[in-house]
Each structure stands twice: as structure tokens, then as C-alpha cells.
Amino acid sequence: MTRITLDITMSLDGFAAGPEPSMEEPLGKRGEELHEWVFGLAAWRSAHGMEGGESGPDADLVAEHIASYGAVVMGRRMFSGGAGPWDTDTNARGWWGDDPPFHVPVFVLTNHQRESLEMQGGTTFHFVTDGIEAALDRAAEAAGDRDVHVAGGADVVQQALNAGRFDELTVHVAPIFLGSGTRLFDGIDGRRVKLEPVPMPASAAVTHLRYRVVR
């Protein structure tokens, strides 16, 4: 049974990205610090084509997450690394290099219809112009019996939440204050989205929150 899941990191003050995103800093100023907990983990390094790394409960969670999904949904800015004009190189090929770390079909929400883009390593980007529900439906079809992972950015997460489409949310709270930037959760309809906490292992690097969404 395909579930729709979130797995994302936010700062303690609720930001999924810092201010002033650019080609050099697609996650905004200090946004990279959000993900420091993950860069050294074996499971993350392996998905990004690197060897070695740490094991432990954090690495187990990341490995479990990577193994769980059969398709990804993301926004256009996440695809292209925040780049502006559509005709630049990163908009043509995406920000993720020739062998993106997803290794499954990725459905990109955009206003611009274009051909699918087959990359190395199993990642194919498909471009969806008819909204979040259509993107989630197409991803669910492609995922087989695995999950659909909504990767971000914040606007895509908020659209999927307010559409009532999530089955499970995992939020990693990084022990930093960004002060400003893009809020992960803004304008969520709390009367519509009911959550049930799932106890998670403690970590010294980050706090893992997980919720089942109650229908």
C-alpha cells in the first residue's frame, strides 16, 4: 500500500531554508547547517555515491527512509536549485548533477510543460503542470508498493498537507536558529490535519519527530 510521506529537516525556529537563496546557496544563508547531521552518515553518503560514514540510530533512520520510497515529488525550485530563468543550465538539467541521489522517478511541480529527463542511476524527472494532486497521483502510480516521498520545498509540503494527502510526517529538528528564511509550516489548516505522535529514538545531533496523520 503506497503511503505519502514527508521527511524533512527544519530549524528549531521552524525554517526549512534560510534567507536569500541563490545559486551558490540554494538553501539560503546558513541553510546548509540544517543538514549537517546527515552529511556524515553512511546511508546518506552511499545514496550520493560516496563510501564510508557513520552508523547508528540516525543512519538507520536515513537508510530506512531511502529504502522506503518508490517515487519523489518536489517543487520546481528544488529541482533547479532556486535558479531563476528557465533557460539556464541548471533549469535544463536540474541542480542535482548527472546522477541525482533519488534513483527513482521524480515528479516536479512546474508551470512549464516539458519532456521527461532521464538521468543516470535510475532518476527520471517528470514535469507536472496540473497541480499537487496530479503530481501525487502520478507519483503513487510510479511508486509501486513503496511510498511517495514529498521532498520539498515548503510550499509543496504545505499544498500536500492542506490537500489532506499525507499519511506520515517525519520532521528532523536541527538544533539551530536561522532567524529568518522560509517557514516549513505556514498557513496549515489545523482543523483538517490531525496528528498522532510516534515515539522516535533520541539523538545527540538532531531531534526526530514522527506523526501518523489521522484520517
Pick 47 or 171: Cβ nearer a copy of itself: 171
Q: Which residues pair with 28 in a beta bridge?
A: none
Answer yes or no whether residue 163 interacts with a copy of itself by CB under 8 A: no
- Measured CA to CA, the distance from residue 74 to residue 68 in angstroms comes to 17
Which residues have a Cβ under 8 Å from the Cβ of 198 and sit 6 or more positions away? 168, 210, 211, 212
SS3 category, 210: strand
Answer yes or no whether residue 204 interacts with a copy of itself by CB under 8 A: yes
Convert residues 28-67 into a mask of x (bound to a copy of itself by CB under 8 A) and - (unbound).
--x-------------------------------------
Specify the stretch interacting with a copy of itself by CB under 8 A; choose among 38-46, 66-74, 93-101, 204-212.
Answer: 204-212
Task: Return the biggest CA–CA distance within the chain.
Answer: 46
Identified binder of a copy of itself from the candidate list 47, 119, 150, 178, rule CB under 8 A: 178
Helices within 29-113 (DSSP H only): 36-39, 42-47, 57-68, 76-80, 89-93
Answer yes or no whether residue 187 interacts with a copy of itself by CB under 8 A: yes
Which residues have a Cβ under 8 Å from the Cβ of 123 and sit 6 or more positions away? 96, 99, 100, 101, 102, 103, 104, 105, 106
Answer yes or no whether residue 193 interacts with a copy of itself by CB under 8 A: yes
Answer yes or no whether residue 68 interacts with a copy of itself by CB under 8 A: no
Smallest separation, CB 191 to a copy of itself (Å): 8
| Identity of residue 6 | L
- Site residues, a copy of itself (CB under 8 A): 11-14, 30, 161, 171, 173, 175-180, 183-190, 193, 195-197, 199-200, 202-207, 209, 211
